[in-house]
Every structure is written in structure tokens, then in C-alpha cells.
């Protein structure tokens, strides 16, 4: 009988990609992944600590798993990811039923650690050494989620040290993978039928800057665009200060590179951008958006926004809303500032009260939702290409796909659509977060 593993994933797409490699390793040890913790012989929580809410969810799960360990003492339980890197030994001191803790740079040790725990050679294991995740990514087998879209890490770590962000402390400095290894992974995914590739990094635009002789991110994009069988090429995440004109040109001239730019601004005034250590001004950011819209007029632009950062005043917030109304993003992912121990912003004066943060978040979302709906309504009556994903989760008679500009589209199933196909949909209705239509004639 095969053994069963549950991998709970929290946080960003990089954690999803790491979990796919963990699953690949566990497969070689005879484990199959299951969706319910209660069925598992091995439980891994691959964690995030970017926001306090993410950590709270993990601690809640740790408590649940204590009861499962009491029922099954042979159950193996481990913590990986950013929270593991940040807390280390403290996790086992707080919850002794945790068997192992592996930091972000030690995921390649998973097979050895699980094997030793199975053989009862060790009781507890903790390793948060900031080893080379780049080498580990190339050594570990990958067991991918789904059948259409593949996550491919191209680099690890971050050099930017935004004052609110813990990522550089738990992921380390920027390290780029070799282009030939990335392209080999992309070709392998294409050979297995994956149609969409998303290149991952904390700041993909600085790919190759840490290694002499490496190609630039724009050159890497163009190389991936040439891989036979791939229909869509995406990437995330971009830091605005490093998004080059060469990348914009690569998107403009690419066959499969999607016309979607996710460029997190975080805030819309120079005062707050400086406090956040974002290293660009509002004027520079607006100029970047102008170059994108001039070169790729049909592109969608999305962003991340933080409200309630220390020192934010009503005047600052009004400036943010004015900025939003001027830029007019297709969509924005909005967050309340969450202090992270060890980051400069956590110790800044003038912390904003929670009720003020929540009020500003609602006002921000109201403005952005109105903009998103207006942009989507302009698409009513047009035909757009979608990559067919399959039936929606709530209604199997309705199918879903995504445009090159990363908009979700729903339509009534006609009986001959297949996941992975490119089909044209005539848009008949717009909503804030999605479009509805019917297959074009």
C-alpha cells in the first residue's frame, strides 16, 4: 500500500512551486498526495509569514494536527517555508508534536529527513541554514498541480528590503537559475502537455543581475516564447524600478508572451513610497505605465496596494485615491499593512489604528472596483481569445478560461470544448472581477 501525504500550502506562487517539488521528492519515497489531513501518514505545512493572518492560520492548523498526532503517534508532521525559516527551533518549543522544521533553503533535504523519521533514527530535526535553493530547484523532481499551467521558478530571494517586507530575511539574497536549466524545465512541461508557463521570482526583472554572463530577463522571456507547445507565457512578480523597456518590447513582439503587466506600486504618494523604501517616485512610475500603454495599448495592468502604512495621513490617503483614479488599473490586490517583527516598518512611529486601516481599505476597494467594472464594460460586444480551463467549480454547465490579459471569462458549455484549447468568446456581460459570454461563431 502506498503512503499518503498532505501538503498544505500558504502564501505565494513560489510556495506552490516549492510544494510541487516536495511532492516530487515524496513520490520517490512511495507517498501519494491526498486532500484531507485525516487520511495522511505525513503532513507538511508549507508556510508564509508575509502577513500576520497567514501565521495565525498556520498556528490554528498546528493545533488541529496535535489531535491527529495523539490519535496516530506514527504520523510525521513538518513545517517548511518562510515561517519555518523565521521561527526555526521556536516552532518545536511551542509545539513539540512537530517532527521537523526545514527553512526555505533546505527543501532538498526533505527526502533524507522523512526517511530518518520513518526509521526512527531521529526524533526532531531543525535546519534553517540559508543554503542554495537554486541548486535544490534543479535537483528535485517536480510533481505538478493541474494539467494546463506550470509554475517555473527562475530565481530566489530579494535584494530590495522594502521596509514592510520580511521576504529578504527569509528567502535571502537574489540568486538566478541557469537559463539552460529553466528552459529544460519549460520544455519538459510542454512535452507533458502544459500549455501555460508562469516564470516565478520575487523580482523577475532583475533576473541574471547576480551572475556575470547570464542573459537578461527580456532575453529569457524571448527564449521561453520559442519553446514549441507553449501557448501562453506569464511571469511574476515585477518590481517597477527594474521593469526595462526591453521587457516591454519582448511582450509587444512576442507570440505567446501575455499582454499583462503586474507592477505592484504599493502606494500612490512619494512620501509613503520613500518610507516603504520602494526606490522610485510617483512620476517615474507614471512614466513606466505611459511607456507600457504606448507600446502595448491592449495590455492590462494590475497592481498591489497597501493601506494603513505607518505615518499614513488622511492627506496621504486622498493622494492614493487620486493616483488610483488617474492610473486606472484593470485590477488591484489590496492589503492592510501588517507589522512583521524584524522589519524596519514594525518599529516606525505613527502606526495607524486598525479601525482606520479597515475604513480606508473599504474606500480604496470601492474606487478600484468602480474602475475595474468600467474597464471590463468596454469589452462587451468584443471577441477575445481564452485558454480553456474547464468547468467552473460551482456550475459544471458553465466553463471558464482566461484571456491573454489575465481576465477570467465564463460561458455556457457547448459540448465540444476541451481544456487547453484556445477558443474565441464573444463577451456579452461584464462584472468587476470577470467577464461572461458565449463561444464566438
How far is residue 376's CA from residue 183's CA, in Å, rounded to a whole number? 35
Q: Enter the C-alpha cell of residue 180.
A: 539552460
Cα(216)–Cα(120) distance, rounded to whole angstroms?
Answer: 47
Binding residues: 12, 48, 82, 158, 162, 165
Identify the pLDDT of residue 388. 97
Whether the link from the prior residue into 150 is cis, omega within 30° of 0, is no
DSSP secondary structure letters along 171-239: H-S-EEPPHHHHHHHHHHHHHTT--EEEEE-TTGGGTTTTSTTPPPHHHHHHHHHTSTT--EEEEE---
Instruction: Say what the pLDDT of residue 53 is.
Output: 82
In angstroms, the CA 405 to CA 260 distance is: 5
Number of Cβ atoms within 10 Å of the Cβ of 330: 20
Instruction: Kindly list the structural domains of the chain, giving each domain's residue range(s) and its CATH number in brackets, ordered by start.
Output: 3-133 (3.40.50.12160), 134-377 (3.80.30.20), 383-439 (2.40.50)
The 8-class DSSP code of residue 298 comes to: T
Q: What's the whole-model pTM score? A: 0.94
> How high is the pLDDT of residue 133?
66
Q: What is the four-CA torsion angle of 193, 237, 208, 211, rounded to 10 degrees?
A: -110
Q: How far is CA 389 from CA 228, 393, 403, 416, 441, in A?
A: 20, 11, 11, 13, 20
Cβ density class 119-142: b for 16+ within 10 Å, e for less? eeeeeebbebebbebbebbbebeb
Within the chain, what is the greatest distance between any pair of CA atoms? 66
Nearest to 389 by CA among 376, 405, 408: 408
State residue 218's pLDDT score: 98
Q: What's the pLDDT score for residue 1?
A: 64
| CB neighbour list of residue 108: distance below 8 Å, 6 or more residues apart | 25, 131, 135, 136, 139, 140
- Name the residue with cell 500612490: 268
**pLDDT score at 50:** 84
Low-confidence ranges of the chain (pLDDT < 50): none
Query: What residues are designated binding site for [4Fe-4S] cluster?
Result: 12, 48, 82, 158, 162, 165
Give residue 249's pLDDT: 98
Whose CA is closest to 41, among 12, 76, 70, 15?
76
Amino acid at each position: 500500500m502506498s503512503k499518503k501525504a498532505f501538503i498544505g500550502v500558504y502564501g505565494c506562487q513560489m510556495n506552490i512551486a516549492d510544494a510541487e517539488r516536495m511532492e516530487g521528492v515524496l513520490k520517490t519515497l512511495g507517498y501519494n498526495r491526498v486532500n484531507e489531513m485525516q487520511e495522511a501518514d505525513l503532513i507538511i505545512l508549507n508556510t508564509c509569514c508575509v502577513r500576520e493572518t497567514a501565521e495565525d492560520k498556520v498556528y490554528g492548523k498546528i493545533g488541529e494536527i496535535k489531535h491527529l498526532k495523539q490519535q496516530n503517534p506514527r504520523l510525521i508532521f513538518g513545517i517548511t517555508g518562510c515561517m519555518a525559516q523565521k521561527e526555526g527551533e521556536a516552532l518545536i518549543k511551542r509545539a513539540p508534536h512537530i517532527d521537523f522544521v526545514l527553512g526555505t533553503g533546505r527543501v532538498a533535504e526533505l527526502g533524507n529527513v522523512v526517511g530518518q523519521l520513518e526509521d526512527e533514527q531521529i526524533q526532531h530535526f531543525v535546519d534553517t541554514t540559508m543554503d542554495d535553493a537554486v541548486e535544490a530547484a534543479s535537483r528535485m523532481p517536480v510533481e505538478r498541480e493541474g494539467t494546463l499551467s506550470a509554475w517555473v521558478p527562475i530565481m530566489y530571494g530579494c535584494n530590495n528590503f522594502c521596509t514592510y517586507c520580511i521576504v529578504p530575511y527569509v528567502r535571502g539574497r537574489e540568486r538566478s537559475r541557469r537559463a539552460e536549466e529553466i528552459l529544460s524545465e519549460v520544455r519538459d512541461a510542454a512535452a507533458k502537455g502544459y500549455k501555460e508557463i508562469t516564470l516565478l521570482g520575487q523580482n523577475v526583472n532583475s533576473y541574471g543581475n547576480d551572475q556575470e554572463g547570464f542573459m537578461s530577463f527580456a532575453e529569457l522571456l524571448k527564449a521561453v516564447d520559442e519553446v514549441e507547445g507553449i501557448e501562453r507565457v506569464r511571469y511574476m512578480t515585477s518590481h517597477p524600478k527594474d521593469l526595462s523597456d526591453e521587457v516591454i518590447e519582448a511582450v509587444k513582439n512576442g507570440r505567446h508572451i501575455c499582454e499583462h503587466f503586474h507592477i505592484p506600486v504599493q502606494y500612490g504618494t512619494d512620501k509613503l513610497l520613500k518610507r516603504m523604501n520602494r526606490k522610485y517616485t510617483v512620476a517615474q512610475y507614471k512614466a513606466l505605465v505611459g511607456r507600457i500603454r504606448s507600446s502595448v495599448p491592449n495590455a492590462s495592468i494590475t497592481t498591489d496596494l497597501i493601506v494603513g502604512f505607518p505615518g499614513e495621513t488622511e492627506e496621504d490617503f486622498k493622494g492614493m485615491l487620486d493616483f488610483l483614479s488617474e492610473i486606472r488599473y484593470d485590477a488591484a490586490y489590496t492589503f492592510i499593512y501588517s507589522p512583521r517583527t524584524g522589519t524596519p516598518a514594525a518599529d516606525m512611529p505613527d502606526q495607524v489604528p486598525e479601525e482606520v486601516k479597515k475604513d480606508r481599505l473599504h474606500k480604496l476597494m470601492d474606487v478600484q472596483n468602480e474602475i475595474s467594472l468600467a474597464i471590463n464594460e468596454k469589452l462587451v460586444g468584443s471577441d477575445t481569445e481564452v485558454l480553456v480551463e474547464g468547468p467552473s467549480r460551482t456550475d459544471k454547465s458553465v466553463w471558464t478560461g482566461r484571456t491573454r490579459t489575465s481576465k477570467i471569462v465564463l460561458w455556457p458549455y457547448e459540448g465540444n470544448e476541451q481544456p487547453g484549447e484556445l477558443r474565441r468568446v464573444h463577451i456579452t456581460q461584464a462584472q468587476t472581477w470577470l467577464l461572461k459570454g458565449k463561444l464566438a461563431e
